[in-house]
Amino acid sequence: MKAAIWTAYGPPDVIQLREIPTPEPGKGEVRVKIEATTVTAGDTEMRTLKFPWYLRLPIRIYAGWRKPKRMQILGQEYAGVIDKLGDDVSEFNVGDKVFASGTMPRLGGHAEYAIAPAVPTDGLLALRPETLTAEEAAAIPFAAFEAYFFLNKAKLRSGERILIVGAGGSIGTYAIQIAKAWGAEVTAVDRSPKHATLTEIGADEVLDPTANWGRSRFDVVLDVVGIRTYGHAMRTLRRGGCYTSSNPRFLMLVQALWARFVSGKRVIVGTANHAPEAIAAINELVASGKLKPVIGRRFTLDEIVDAHRYAESGDKIGNTTVIVGQV
């Protein structure tokens, strides 16, 4: 099979297309013939190891100190068709159309085939929503669940005001749609070339990162950017409001916990899960037409290096998809 191999820590050119043996599913596993995948911020950060030192160290210890050896195919999420079952698999059938996400060390979406546990202890493997194409379904498993996780944890309610910082990315574009579906008033923050798209998908107000976002205006803040915008974002929250971040850093966590102590503002960080109720909620939003992936650009697997370049550029909007097979 053809696969995008992660050969070193560094720029997009360290990804090389190669022919490698097609994997076989083991006991309790399925093999997915991939039709589409994505390149996420997580993929580019993993490739470059642009993490805080306390995360870089264990990743190097596990994956390989000088270059990745135990993890050689990136790709957090993908969609395709199950083409082979391992022993003792009763949850799926050959021919099932699925979408999936993996977590370290089991990623693997940037290839023609991937192996996934039929019953994931982490990540997702599920029948994909019938209303979505494979390309659209591939863009759901990571960012849509992240957006749902934080808004649900923040207890966002109808009529409340939410500020979404970094709204033009994959998580942000889903968060706008979910918040609007729940009846919230949405202010989105991102660069001006993205404003038209953010308005189109439902933002009530769109601001530039350099603008004055106001003080004590919002009930909830979802900050996708993180430490660079933390102080500005916290000042916009009313007392008793909730700050959430999908991109926390150690210093920001300390600052946020202190702010919670002195100001009464709630702080939520964490990682989304794929609990049955979350899957049902996402599927319902998709089926009702209230949630749809925003696809900024699409590439083929042969263009995977260009897809990495685009995904880490400031021009990226929504999801960066990669077509692998027939969709």
Any domain includes 101: yes
Residues 156 and 133 in one domain: no
Any domain includes 177: yes
Q: Residue 235 has what pLDDT?
A: 87
The CATH number covering residue 92 comes to 3.90.180.10
**DSSP of 79-92:** EEEEEEE-TT--S-
Residues 93 and 147 in one domain: no
Residue labelled with tokens 């960012």: 143
Is residue 186's pLDDT more than 60? yes
- Total tally of structural domains belonging to the chain: 2
Distance between CA 128 and CA 89 in Å, rounded? 18
Residues 216 and 310 in one domain: no
Domain extent at residue 150: 143-269
Residues 155 and 218 in one domain: yes
Any domain includes 216: yes
Residues 224 and 239 in one domain: yes
Any domain includes 284: no
DSSP 191: -
Any domain includes 277: no
Given a contact cutoff of 8 angstroms between Cβ atoms, the answer to whether 174 and 40 are in contact is no
Q: Residue 255 has what pLDDT?
A: 63
The CATH number covering residue 259 comes to 3.40.50.720
Any domain includes 274: no
Is residue 51's pLDDT more than 90? no
SS (H, E, C) 160-186: CEEEEECCCEHHHHHHHHHHHHCCCEE
As a whole number, the mean pLDDT across the chain is 90
Residues 7 and 58 in one domain: yes
Residue 78 is which amino acid?
Y
Any domain includes 275: no
Residues 48 and 104 in one domain: yes
Residues 230 and 182 in one domain: yes
pLDDT (tens digit per residue) in 86-132: 999 999 999 999 999 987 667 899 999 999 999 988 889 999 998 99
pLDDT (tens digit per residue) in 223-269: 988 766 777 888 899 988 998 887 666 666 666 666 666 666 788 77
Residues 8 and 128 in one domain: yes
Any domain includes 281: no
Residues 239 and 318 in one domain: no
Q: Residue 21 has what pLDDT?
A: 96
Distance between CA 296 and CA 178 in Å, rounded? 19
Residues 107 and 121 in one domain: yes
Residues 33 and 79 in one domain: yes
